[in-house]
Amino acid sequence: MAEQDSQPAAVPEQPANWGPATTVNDAVAAWRDNGWDDLSPKTARHYESIWKVHIAPTIGRRRIAILGTYDVEHYYRSLKADGLSMSTVRQIKAVLHRSCRLAHKWSAGVLPNPIADADLPTWRLEEQRAEVRAPEPHEVQALLTAAVADDLRFGVFLRVLAATGIRRGEACALRWSDLDLERGVITVDEGVIAAKGGAVVKEPKTRASVRSLACDERTAAALIELRAEQERIAAAAEESLLDDSFVFSASPGGAVPPHPDSMSHALTRIRDQAGLPPDIHLHSLRHFHATALDPVISEAQKQARLGWSTVHMARHYTDGVPAEDRRAAEHIGRLLD
């Protein structure tokens, strides 16, 4: 009794109200407050958008206790009828399923999970959206020409994407210390993602994403030219360009990484100026790179160069920048010019 009396007073916990009145929105909100912190900022932001746009005003208002499988499948078909793609409806189902499964667990089995047995509608081949297309070399050349004429920084950004096949977030995270331009080597070890409040630099999800890549001489020369331009801009603003400054930063001194979405918006503007098809996006340049390498290097080396985790063990048996990877860089460089 003396030991109990010496302890601080217990704070009574208010149990969550899991019962017949609990709605799908309540379940999603509970998962947000008790689970989304474990997700990447980009994933949490995406889930928030799916919830607010597609779930909250519709099925989110329904009570879980009386929501049946028929109702859920009818909801999926209404989404399809509204023109949503198969991938979007799958993502909506994933958010619903996780939320209702947690509600079932947190309610000690009081609430059912009506999402578990609900099936998605089928999309015929002609109803499915076309996959990302690999642009033709002449389209990439036209895009690079238009970009450099408009803005050197963005032009070199596109050149690096096309020449190395790295992701847009990886290019946004490049620092000058990641570049060995004398040897023609670029090290990828970070990524920038879109999050609330701006761009966030984070470590890659897998070891396969951390890699060193060869780049061709023309791409290295373009980066050297950009370095000189960035130094002039920094000096004019009485700032210093440091080794850890971001290569493609729009701020003098390069302290702030570029936002991936701003780069995508810039691509849309340049693409329209060049009169190119609307199905060309930043990610299309990665597809271009992968397709162009097919006749040049082995599949294992190509996947290692692109940072695909399914073959990350292949890197244990190659040098950091092997001769095969060097041939890949020079091939892409010649193709771009």
pLDDT tens digit sequence for 200-247: 888 876 777 889 999 999 999 999 999 999 999 999 999 999 999 999
How would residue 314 be classed by pLDDT, with cut points 50, 70 and 90? very low
Q: Do domains 16-127 and 137-336 have the same CATH topology?
A: no
Q: Reply yes or no on whether the pLDDT at 10 is more than 70.
A: no
Q: How far apart are CA 91 and CA 46, in angstroms?
A: 10
Q: What is the mean pLDDT of the chain?
A: 87
Q: Reply yes or no on whether the pLDDT at 313 is more than 50.
A: no
pLDDT in tens, 66-103: 999 999 999 999 999 988 888 899 999 999 999 999 99
Check residue 184 and give its pLDDT. Answer: 92
Q: Which CATH class is domain 137-336?
A: mainly alpha
Check residue 4 and give its pLDDT. Answer: 66
Q: Comparing 114 with 309, which gets the higher pLDDT?
A: 114
pTM above threshold 0.75: no
Check residue 315 and give its pLDDT. Answer: 43
Q: Reply yes or no on whether the pLDDT at 320 is more than 60.
A: no
Q: Reply yes or no on whether the pLDDT at 317 is more than 60.
A: no
Q: Domain ranges in the chain? A: 16-127, 137-336
Among 47-61, 142-156, 223-237, 286-300, name the one with the lowest average pLDDT.
286-300
Check residue 41 and give its pLDDT. Answer: 81
What's the mean pLDDT in 32-38?
91
What's the mean pLDDT in 5-21?
63
Q: Comparing 76 with 323, which gets the higher pLDDT?
A: 76
How would residue 273 be classed by pLDDT, with cut points 50, 70 and 90? very high
SS3 per-residue string spanning the chain: CHHHHHCCCCCCCCCCCCCCCCEHHHHHHHHHHCCHHHCCHHHHHHHHHHHHHHHCCCHHHCEHHHCCHHHHHHHHHHHHHCCCCHHHHHHHHHHHHHHHHHHHHHCCCCCCCCCCCCCCCCCCHHHCCCCCCCCCHHHHHHHHHHHHHHCHHHHHHHHHHHHHCCCHHHHHCCEHHHEECCCCEEEECCEEEEECCEEEEECCCCHHHCEEEECCHHHHHHHHHHHHHHHHHHHHCCCCCCCCCECCCCCCCCCCCCCHHHHHHHHHHHHHHCCCCCCCCHHHHHHHHHHHCCCCCCHHHHHHHHCCHHHHHHHHHCCCCCHHHHHHHHHHHHHHC
Q: Which fold has domain 16-127?
A: DNA polymerase; domain 1 (1.10.150)
What's the mean pLDDT in 238-259?
94
Q: Comparing 224 with 302, which gets the higher pLDDT?
A: 224
What's the mean pLDDT in 129-137?
76
Among 32-46, 251-265, 305-319, name the one with the lowest average pLDDT.
305-319
